[in-house]
Amino acid sequence: MTFSVEETRFSLPHVELAAHLFGPEDGIPVIALHGWLDNAMTYARLAPKLKGLRIVALDFPGHGHSGHYASNSSYSMWEYLEDVLLVAEKLGWERFSLMGHSLGGIISTLLAAAVPERIERLALIDGLIPFTGEADGAAKRLGDALRARLAVRDKRKPVYADLERAVQARMQGVVAVSREAAELLAQRGLEPVPGGYTWRSDIRLTLPSVMRLTFAHVEQFVRSVQCPVSLVLAAQGQMAVEPRIASLLEGRHFDVHTLPGGHHLHLNEEAGAQQVADCFNRFFAVT
């Protein structure tokens, strides 16, 4: 597939971020956030189908064409939250909407809850809350994370002899995607190295989290979201297997749509992207 997109960069105090720009300059301001180990190309099918939006689709730090955090930093949700606000400052956007897939949806929800005065609307794709962990497992999780961080310096990212092997690997990743989706993500996510290609992503992104929020924490975050929300759930997606999602949404005035497809329904094929676009176009058209 082919599409027209503008590339831009944001120089933050601690990292430089890359982004794709979609839509008219005077459109509704939206910062779009991708999922874990994906990149801004996750919106390649969806963004051109959205009407009247000025979309800034970021590469998170450590992903795509963005820079990596310093060696003494981690890739915590809290750091990403600040980065999004710093990008909004660069754009001069006091209030703006967020669009997020998977991890991007989680970051969007947390940010909307934390700074409700800044967020106009949330458009979420199969992402709402982070994985949770209760207090009785916190010490073990911390120990496992610390040991993994010490060991990561001895790890190396895989090198693929050619692009086809890299695409095949992405198709069969932790979350499987279609060939076209894998090709789009690989287009922005790969770099040439001796012997072939490897992923641009920082290897530290694969490390386990040091600490997780409890379910009580995430309940409070969801309850603290004040802006309108359109949540697209994939019928065969990751959130479909979370039994507590229904209780989280109970009493919330969220616009919820369950659509056929997997976790990357907005990227895997044109039909899925159009269905998501139909939901979001109606959502953003409401004044």
121, 65, 126, 281: CA torsion to nearest 10: 40
Q: 138 CB contacts (<8 Å, ≥6 apart)? A: 211, 212
- How many beta carbons lie within 10 A of that of residue 220, not counting itself? 12
- The catalytically annotated residue of 66, 102, 201, 230 is 102
CA–CA dist 103, 105 (Å, integer): 5
**H helix or E strand, kind and range, residue 31:** strand 28-33
73 is catalytic: no
Helix 77-91 to helix 103-114 angle (10° resolution) is 70
Sheet holding 53-58, edge to edge: 6-11, 16-22, 53-58, 28-33, 96-101, 119-125, 229-236, 254-262
Between the two ends of the chain, the Cα-to-Cα distance in Å is 33
CB 113 within 8 A of CB 221: yes
Strands 190-193 and 119-125, by their bridges, are unpaired
Distances, alpha carbon 27 to alpha carbons 42, 72, 135, in Å: 20, 38, 44
| CA atoms of 219 and 118, how far apart (whole Å) | 21
Which of 161, 226, 283, 202 is closest to 37 using CA atoms? 202
Contact predicate 128/217, CB 8 Å:
no
Q: Which residues carry out catalysis?
A: 102
